[in-house]
Structure 1
């Protein structure tokens, strides 16, 4: 009986060891798969199309195509759900029968061979009113197809102009602000000069220095 009991214990122990080994192998396999997916995600390109204000001319809206991922995207092609408007200018919405210009060439039509991490293409898209007229009441959906050198990928972007209604489009360009201030100063000085309020005398520096020297010597004497 003791011999049979010992066999049963050994059998059970061996079974537990086999099950534990199998579970460890499964967990290791899952870990390797998840680690591989995580590494691929960290090096995956991600191409988006978005709308931003032009910082130098805030009433203008720019269309950015940008790779915000960490890998290079190759052979990019763009597939919008309808024609992409371009140069849709006008702060106020134009009449309903106003013509609409759409893209006929360029990167969004012909594609992009490669786009590295952080690389972008920028388009002068238009202004709020003109884009509202061109897009209508629906946002524009653009699918971007490309590959990372190993597999085909696709990203979806949704762009619109309606969400910019009421946003701050004030001019904060410091260069333009300085230019306006200088222009204002120049006009004011011209006004003073023409009215006799401002008089500028040309001074010979050498003569002025000699005059000051004589005054100092006279004071010493």
Structure 2
């Protein structure tokens, strides 16, 4: 009788232990799934502000500095930390003078709000002037901004670091790719020619070649 009671008690204990650990595992799975969903939601909501240099396709030899939010969320109160010396409007070629330190613009004053895919484009200068200021060393720019918390009041601060260099532009293509401007110039020449014909100032010559 006693042995049967002990056996029943032992079976009940193992059953309770099994139920306990099953509950623990289910709780861990639930927490993990919730955390994963939260992180996934964050990646779909977090802004990401970056700063990079890029050549201007419409103005040969000009290098622009671009601030862009490549993330899907809205970046608020965007601020930037620059080195002690950071050039602005650095124009010129091999004998370019050393440009002034940047004193105005969004990198200095910040941006209150920057939406997804939004940009601020700064005419930074030309290779000669920028190389005179920065030489071979890349420059570190820190971007600090915030986003609204997901499901909670308040905001969360985010930070991103960007390396900007000028040396990599050495020897790159500086062709004039402003095809709109080129097309406009050609149309202007055609319009002048037609105007001259209409006013009688020019004559239209037509030559016909006969096949032999």
Query: Does 1:200 pair with 2:199?
Result: no
Structure 2 gap ranges (5+): 149-154, 206-212
TM-score (norm 1): 0.76
Change (3 A) 1:200 1:137: closer
- Higher Cα radius of gyration: 1
Q: Deviation of residue 185 (structure 1)?
A: 7.5
Look up the SS of the partner of 2:101 in the other structure.
Answer: coil
Could you tell me which of 154, 158, 161 is aligned with 1:153?
A: 158
TM-score (norm 2): 0.79
Structure 1 gap ranges (5+): 202-221
Look up the SS of the partner of 2:176 in the other structure.
Answer: coil
Equivalent pairs, count = 190
Change (3 A) 1:136 1:3: same
More helix by share: 1
Q: Deviations over 1:79-137 (max 9, x none)?
A: 012322111112x3326xx2322211222111111111111111000111211111122
Tell me the equivalent position of 1:162: 167
Tell me the equivalent position of 1:53: 55
Look up the SS of the partner of 1:114 in the other structure.
Answer: strand
Conservation of the 8 A alpha-carbon contact between 1:52 and 1:63: yes
Between 1:170-179 and 1:98-107, the stretch displaced more is: 170-179
Separation in 2, partners of 1:20, 1:158: 50
Separation in 2, partners of 1:22, 1:200: 93
Computed over aligned residues only, the root mean square deviation of the Cα atoms, in angstroms, reads 2.5
